[in-house]
Structure formats: structure tokens, C-alpha cells
Chains A and B, each alone.
Chain A
Amino acid sequence: MRLALYLLLSLAVLVIALICSISFGVTDISLRVVWDSIIHGGTSNEQLIVRTARLPRALIAGAVGASLAVAGALMQAITRNPIASPSTVGVNSGATFFIIVAGAWFGVSGLHAFTLVALLGAAISGTIVFTLGSIGRDGMTPVKVTLSGAAMAAFFASLTQGVMLTDGKMFDQILAWLVGSVAGREMSQLAAVWPYMAVGMVIALFLPRHLNVLAMGDDIAAGLGQRTAHIKVLAAAAIILLAGAAVAAAGPIAFIGIIIPHIVRYMVGTDYRWILPYSAVYGALLLVAADVGSRYIAMPKEVPVGVMTAIIGVPFFVYIARKGRTRHG
């Protein structure tokens, strides 16, 4: 009951953050105008800014933040690895590489096509990393998964840079996207990715009970009658949908998938029925807030929000790595 109440409260805070994100920026826009332009439309400058720039940006930040956080929570659940997240296991960089190759070499264009390509990249890179990380007698250890993730990330990053350098016309378009940013997005971009995110979220919705059982260990879960392989495959599908769509919309934004599940576990304990919804809300909140903050650091220029989350995220990552639990997984 208490947790439900807090969740509602957090949701309210998220709504306030979204409104702030629409209203604050290089031109501050009053709340009344914001409300007006969303409900009634209108063609004044401010109303146009709200509808074509601020609103899509806020919504994409929210959707991407929620997706990455839930993907991170799922990943940490099925691998029982506290430092797993879409960015550390190379899923983000795989999706990035595929998008850039598709754009530069195969002339792919259009948001829907890019989203599908990103999903494919996320799936391939994720499969490689997890296969590599789980071979061997002691199974999937955090260290193995993290190392193979880092290697894949380095691999895709150099290939991405190689493609960019040989293809001049992609260069400037892609560079800004490569850091992860939600600036200058349009509503159509959200329209292209949200169905995938929604499917991923719905799959995630059915998993919490099973994840709670799985948390006791593969053997125990199997002994209790769970088909652990099914659950893991479902969770992996959700992760790929969520992370791939998030990258297609905003570029590889790092560390949300790792920070949020940890904060949430600290708040609500180990029950995934609470961890997943809380992760979604706080992931959205963090990215929306970081995005608002990114407008004020170097005003009137903007710092890409991906840089913000990386800088916020590192202390967390270090803290988790230092706790030493990582060693024996």
C-alpha cells in the first residue's frame, strides 16, 4: 500500500518534470500557453515551439528513459549481475553500428526502417555477448559478461567510426546522435518507436512473478517447476525491443539502465513486481530531468544528455564495482 502510494507520488513528480521540460529552455514559455497549445493548437511562435519541439522532446526523453531503465532491470534480473545494463553489455553500440551501416552503405532511410535495423543490431550484439559470457563451467559471471560487453562495444565503436570517416555525408548528421541526445526530435520519431517499446513493456509486465522465482537461482527455479529458459528468452526479447527502440530514438544513452535499477532496489527491496514499475517511472524521471539540466549548463548551447547521464552514472558504476559482490556473482 505504502509502495503504491509512493509510486503514484513519483508519477506525479514525473508529470511535473515533463511540464518543466516543455516550459523551460532558451525561451521560457508560461504554463498557460503550454496548456493552451497542447489542447487547442494555435499558430503563434510559442505554441509552435511547444508542439513541434518541446513536447516531442519531453515525451521521447520519458519513453527512452523508462525503456532503458526497465531493460536494465530485466537484464540484471536474468543475469543476476549487478553491473549489467544495455550500455555495458554492448547492446547499445551494436544497435548504433547497425543503424550507421544501414544508412551509409545500404541507403536505408525512414524511421521505421532504422528502428528495425536497431533492433536487429541490439539482438545480434546482445546474443554474442551473453553467449560468450555464459560459456564455461561457472556459467554466466558478471566479470565475463562485462568484459565481453566491453570488447564488443570497442569493436562496434571502431567500426562505426571507420564507416563515418569513409562516408563524409553521414558524418555531421550522425555525430550528434552518437553521443545520445533527445534534442531536435519530432513527433514522428516517437511514433516510429513507441510500438516496440509498448510491446517490450507489455512482455515485461508478465514477468515479475517469474523473475522473483528466478532470483533464487536457476536450480531452485527449475525445481519449483519454472521453465527458466522460457522466462529468460522472453526477458531477452523485451530487453532487445526496449533497448533497440531507445537507441533508434535517442542514440546510445549510457548508464540509465545501470543506475536506476540499483536506486530502485534500494528503495523497494527485491520484489520485481515493484522494481519494474518503479524503474520505468524513475528512468523516465532521470532522463527528463537530465535533459532539462543539459539546457542550462552551457546556455544557449546544449550539452548532449548522453554526456550528462554518463557523468552522473560513473560514480554509481564505480560504487557498485567496488562493493566487491561482483567478483563471485
Chain B
Amino acid sequence: MGKYQTFRTSKVSFLIEKRTVWISLILLVLCIVAAIISAGSGGQPISPLNVIKVLLGGGKPMDQVIIEKLRLPRIVIGVLVGASLAVAGAVLQGIIRNPLASPDVTGVTEGASLGAVLFIFLFGGAVSIHWMPLFAIAGALLMTALLYVLAWKRGVEPLRLVLVGIGVSAAIKSVSYMLIISGPMALAQRSLTFMTGSIYGTSWDKDVMTLLPWVLILLPLTWLQARNVNIQALGDDVASSAGARVQRQRLLLIALSVGLAGAAVAIGGAIAFIGLMAPHIARKLVGSSFGSVVPVSALLGALILLVADVVARTAFLPNDVPAGVLTAAIGAPFFMYLLYRNRNRS
């Protein structure tokens, strides 16, 4: 017994770091605790014990309705959105090799927002909301394609990608604002909430069922790519001399990251800084091997969003502040800390 546990079948074999397993378990427990607190708090408080009773199928009928119809979908969405954003950020940081990169800094979320805002304005309530992720992902993809083309100069250099992203996202954002202004006020409120990021008022069939398939497909796929991310992290020259097809793998990885971010934004809106924070904390906890970073950042992302949502909707009662405001309020100081930490990195 060493640091690693080996799994072997006739086709595949892989190593699992024990530390990662332990940390994941602890985070899982924390997530469950946060979920129980989240299910119990709000305008109609329910004690943790009663929450657990409801979850196990008992409890008072009133509590059942509140938890199962209103609060549980919100929690599930929080977990899915947080995990997707975190993994999307982990992938970007891995391939851009810049710890400051994340879907919000490079403008991928802005693109997804624009797609979703367009959807709200073009179809209002006329078309089923199930199509919204498609629009958001399309927006994120177009944005990324644009970024890729604009930043391409004999290959895509990470830093140029980030800089171009900042510029393009500013323009995209102002186009979103213009749409919001030109439309009716009711849609404006909805769109702006969306651009800030909130998991308010989510439901089982509309939101959870829309997002779940995307997460279930993309998250494991990303995990399978862990090897390639690890190689990319060594730098373009080393990676290509190790036999990696750097540009092609990078394209695939970016596509995965965009898919995750786009799907998450479609449901949760542009919740900021989770994609930045979670992977960092994950790397601090389990090191930089991507196979460990993916599950741990997913759990961390879920945890951060759950906690942010509980605080945002209880601390300012009767106002239900969008969770995105709170993640930004924690995220920006974190970003500054990162800049300070990396001050001597060129």
C-alpha cells in the first residue's frame, strides 16, 4: 500500500491517489451538509432534522411540498451549475497555463449570456426553455471560435487568447445590454438577472432535466481527457515532443470546456468567478494532476455555489440577491490574492 491504489482490467488500468479519494469524500459530506442547510433555510425555516425526515420520505406534508417542489431543484441546479463551471475553469487553466484564466475572464460566459439573452428576446415564452442551453452553448461556441480565429497566429498562444477574450467580451456585453434596453421592461429584468447569475426559482422538469444530460455527458468526457491536459500543462514544445498533437487536443479540450460553461450559463446565468476559484483551491488540495483536479474542483464548485446561494437568499431578506453577486464578491478578492501570489511569474 503506497500513495496510490491501482485499478486494472484487461483493457484499462489507472492509478488513484488515496489523498484525492479522502478529500473528495470530505467535500461530498460538506456538500450534503450545505444542501441540508440550504433546504432548511429561507422565508419558511425548516429544522435540519425535519429536512432529513423529508428527504427520507417522511415529514410534515407542508415541509414536503416546500422542500421537494421549491428548494430541492434549486439545490440540484446549484450542484450541477457549480460543478460544470468549476470543471470548465479547470480545463481552461490547464491548457492556457495561466492561473488567472477562467470562462468569465476570457469571455466564454459573455458569449453564452448573449446567446441566452437573444433566446429570451427572440422567443419570449413562445418556445420551450429546453432549447435555451442550445442557444447558450451556441453563443459560447461562436464566441470561442471567434476568439480562436482572432488569436490565431501560427498556433494559439495562451496569453493572446486571454487578451483578445477581454476585448471581445466587452463588445459582446454591450450588445447584450443594447438588447436589454431595446426590449420591454419585464424581459429586461429577467435578462439582467440572468447576466448576473442566479439559480432562483428553478424547477425539476424545466431546469434540472434540461441541464442534467449535458453534465452527465460532458463531465465524464472531460475526466477522460485528463492525460492530455497534463501533457499540455508542460508547455507546447515539451508536449509536442512527447508526441501530443497539441493544437488538435487543445481544440477538443476547449470545446469540452465551452460545452460545460455554456450549459451551466444557460440555466444558472453568468455566475462569476467559480470557474476561477474552484480549480485553484482544488490544486492546492490535491496537486496539479488533472485526474484529481477534475472531481475535486467539481465538488468545490458545487459547494461554493450552494453556500453562496444560501447566504445570498437569507442574508438580505426580503430581497433574494442573485448568487452571482455573492460569488463575485468572494471571487474578486480571491483573484487579487492570486495576482499577488503570482507577482513574480512572467
For the A-B complex, the count of residue pairs with Cβ-Cβ distances under 8 Å equals 163
* Closest Cβ–Cβ distance, residue B316 to chain A (whole Å): 7
Complex interface: chain A residues within 8 A of B324 (CB):
158, 161-162
Other-chain residue from B151, B178, B316, B325 in contact with A158 (beta carbon distance below 8 A): B325
Query: A-side binding surface: helix, strand, loop or mixed?
Result: helix
Is A230 interfacial (CB-CB < 8 Å)? no
Given the contacts A88-B166, A137-B344, A132 and B339 also touching, CB distance less than 8 Å: yes
In residues 96-110 of chain B, which contact A (Cβ within 8 Å)?
100, 104-105
Given the contacts A150-B166, A154-B328, A158-B272, A310 and B171 also touching, CB distance less than 8 Å: yes
Given the contacts A162-B325, A165-B192, A318-B164, A87 and B170 also touching, CB distance less than 8 Å: yes
Complex interface: chain B residues within 8 A of A254 (CB):
170-171, 174
Given the contacts A175-B188, A179-B174, A313-B171, A155 and B328 also touching, CB distance less than 8 Å: yes
Q: Using an 8 Å CB-CB cutoff, how does the interface string of A126-138 with B read, 1 for contact, 0 for none? A: 0010001101111
Q: How many residues of A contact B (CB 8 A)?
A: 54
State the CA gap A314–B188 with chains docked (Å): 25
In residues 325-346 of chain B, which contact A (Cβ within 8 Å)?
325, 327-329, 331-332, 335-336, 339-340, 342-346
Complex interface: chain A residues within 8 A of B173 (CB):
157
Q: Using an 8 Å CB-CB cutoff, how does the interface string of A116-151 with B read, 1 for contact, 0 for none? A: 000000000000100011011110010110111011
Q: Tell me whether B340 and A132 are in contact (CB under 8 A).
A: yes
Complex interface: chain B residues within 8 A of A136 (CB):
342-345
Given the contacts A154-B272, A161-B195, A306-B174, A147 and B100 also touching, CB distance less than 8 Å: yes
Q: Using an 8 Å CB-CB cutoff, how does the interface string of A147-183 with B read, 1 for contact, 0 for none? A: 1101110110111011011100001100110111000
The CB with the most chain B CB atoms within 10 A, among A144, A162, A313, A321, is that of: A162
Other-chain residue from A83, A133, A137, A311 in contact with B163 (beta carbon distance below 8 A): A83
Is A32 interfacial (CB-CB < 8 Å)? no
Is B247 interfacial (CB-CB < 8 Å)? no
Other-chain residue from B182, B185, B188, B329 in contact with A301 (beta carbon distance below 8 A): B182
Q: Apart from A150-B105, A165-B196, A165-B322, what are 15 other A-B pairs with CB-CB below 8 Å?
A: A88-B166, A135-B343, A136-B344, A141-B346, A155-B329, A158-B328, A159-B328, A166-B319, A171-B185, A171-B189, A175-B180, A304-B174, A307-B177, A314-B170, A317-B164
Q: Which residues of A contact B (CB under 8 A)?
A: 83, 87-88, 128, 132-133, 135-138, 141, 143-144, 146-148, 150-152, 154-155, 157-159, 161-162, 164-166, 171-172, 175-176, 178-180, 254-255, 301, 303-304, 306-307, 310-311, 313-314, 317-318, 321-322, 324, 326-327
